[in-house]
Each structure stands twice: as structure tokens, then as C-alpha cells.
Amino acid sequence: MPALSSSAPGKVILFGEHAVVYGQPAIAVPITEVAAKAIITPDPVATSGAIHITAPLINLDANYTDLPNEDPIAAAIRATLTALNVDQPPAFKLRVTSTIPVASGLGSGAAVSVAIIRAVSAFLGNPLPDQDVSALAFEVEKLHHGTPSGIDNTVITYNAAVYYIKGKPIEKIHIAKPFGLVIADTGISTPTKETVADVRRLWESDPDPYNKIFDSIGKLAVAARSTIEEGNNVALGPLMNENHELLQKLDVSSPDLDKLVLAAREAGALGAKLSGGGRGGNIIALAAEGHADEIKTAVEAAGARNAFITTVK
């Protein structure tokens, strides 16, 4: 049997992170410039059931059975075997690679899970449908996030722009007119689990003002959806700026994120905000046609560890 591989894109959240955990809508799009890949090679000389995993990015080189239960790669394999009722799979080697920065709001955890679930289920001769892939990746996301909304596994599995409300069927968004985004990394990785837990603490200590902030963020996502579907991209900028201010109120921005957001706006971005869990990770800036390069140069000068341009389409 030849080697088999599966890959999954990264993602950014355009609107609605954190509020989405509390039932508000959010919008996310796949980012295909970065991806996670799972490659499976049969291991005919090993005993049945043996699985060896390498993931150079996180220096992992281990047997499946030696990994702790909460290891996300082991969890993705286990979830797939359980879903397919397979106890002793034919022995295989799994290699996981990724160009998605870890803990930076670009969906690296969900992309790795989706790639593994697809590769393992295909290897077992039973490729799972998107709905199941997303549901299994969601179970693994709980290890990364604690109380994930499900937006990452959804946008990454379906590889499409989505309008997402926790627990509701997926709604794909039609991008009427492509738009350019500059994505810039602070170089600081912050586990989403941490910021999600901090926001929860704030909300629990004083629910009313935080419910109002979540509600305002949700309204921005609703407005942004129509704006995107009408192709009125310029109007997205101010909505992104407002969303960033509300995230600052949730205390999930940081001086590094704010600095990149300001640099992008000063370089002519129509709007800019942090994207994902926050505190570190990435910002996204909406570029007017023909201005993406200037914004990229400006955020790099302001200290971005890495910046790239993508077209949302």
C-alpha cells in the first residue's frame, strides 16, 4: 500500500472571536497559504496495531501507546479509531508536518486534527464525511481550548468562509468580491485556553457588562456578513476596528497586538484587529486594492515576526 496524505488549511477569524463561545455569531475564513499535513505509511514489518508518530515541529518521535491520553495527536488518532470501531489497525507510521504557527490564532491545532482524522480514516478504507471529521476534531479541540466554540474545526474541515453560531448547522458565506488581508504575527504564542479562561473569569465576576460586549461583537458579525455578501468590502474596515476595540475591553489584546494594528492602519489599512484568542498571535488588516505590500512592510517595520498577504475569495 502506498503512502497516503491529507492536508488542512489554517484559518483566521474575521469577526466574533470570544463572543462566539457565548453563543454569538462569528465569521472565519480558511487560509490556504499555510497548512498542516498528515502522511501515513504502512509498516508491514511491525505488529498489527503498532503506530509510530513523528512530528518534527514539536520534536515528537514516539509510539502511540506511549503518549498520554491528553496528547492532541494521540487523541485525534484515538477518536478516529473509536469512530470506526477499529481496535487493531494495520501497523502504520504517521508523520505530521505544519507551516501554521502554533498557538497564534491561525487554527494550527484544528488543522492538525483534521489532517490526521482524514488520513487515518482513509488509511483504514473508510474516509469519514466532513460532518464526522469536524465533530471528531471538535472533541480534540477541547484539549486545546477547554470550552471551544467549534469555529476552528468547522472552517478548517469545510475549507470555506463560514458564518458560525455554536451548536448550529454550518452556514457558508458567499464572498461577493475578493479582498486582500495582511496577516501579521507578533511572534508571541499564547494558548487560547488561557485567554478563553480569563474572559470567562471576567464574565463570571460581572456578567452584565460582558454580555453587552459579546452582544455588540455579535452585531458586528451580523453586519459584516451582509457587507461581505454585498461586496461592500470598504465598509468592513470600520467594523474590524470596532471589533478590535471590543476585544481590548475583554482584555485579550496586548501592547504588541495594538502596535501592529496601529501600524497597519497608519499604513492605510481600511481596518485592523487581532484575530483568534489574542494576547499574542496574529493581527489581520484589510488592505485597499493595491496597498497590501505597503501594509506588510509597515507591520514588519513595527516588529511583526512574520507577515504575509492573502486574498479572501
- The verdict on 21 binding ligand PMV (CB under 6 A) reads yes
Q: Is 14 among the residues that bind ligand PMV (CB under 6 A)? A: no
Cα separation, 63 vs 203, in Å, equals 41
Please state, in angstroms and as integers, the Cα–Cα distance from residue 230 to each residue in 225, 235, 236, following that order. 9, 10, 11
**Binding range to ligand PMV, per CB under 6 A, among 11-19, 56-64, 81-89, 122-130:** 11-19
Cα gap 260→252, rounded to integer Å: 15
Q: Is 17 in the site for ligand PMV (CB under 6 A)?
A: yes
Quick note: the x/- pattern for ligand PMV over 24-63, rule CB under 6 A, is: ----------------------------------------
Q: Which three cell numbers stand for residue 99?
A: 507551516
Interface with ligand PMV, residue 250, by CB under 6 A: no
Residue 105 as a binder of ligand PMV (CB under 6 A): the answer is yes
Give the interface segment with ligand PMV, choosing from 10-18, 60-68, 78-86, 234-242 (CB under 6 A): 10-18
Residues 258-297, interacting with ligand PMV (CB under 6 A): 276-277
Closest CA relative to residue 53, chosen from 8, 6, 96: 96
Size of the site for ligand PMV (CB under 6 A): 16
For residues 119 and 38, the answer to whether their CB atoms sit within 8 Å is yes
- Interaction of residue 165 with ligand PMV, rule CB under 6 A: no
The set of cell numbers assigned to 183 is 496577516
Contact call for residues 42 and 102 (beta carbons, < 8 A): no
Q: Smaller CB distance to ligand PMV: residue 89 or 277? A: 277
244 touches ligand PMV (CB under 6 A): no
The single residue among 196, 213, 257, 269 that binds ligand PMV, judged by CB under 6 A, is 196
**Is residue 89 involved in binding ligand PMV (CB under 6 A)?**
no
Residue 181 near ligand PMV by CB under 6 A: no
C-alpha cell at 218: 455579535
Q: Is 152 in the site for ligand PMV (CB under 6 A)?
A: yes
Q: Is residue 273 within 8 Å of 254, Cβ to Cβ?
A: no
Q: What is the torsional sign of CA 112, 34, 41, 83?
A: positive
Contacts of 153 (CB under 8 A, 6+ apart): 110, 113, 114, 134, 135, 137, 138, 141
Q: Which residues bind ligand PMV (CB under 6 A)?
A: 13, 17-18, 20-21, 105, 107, 145, 148-149, 151-152, 192, 196, 276-277
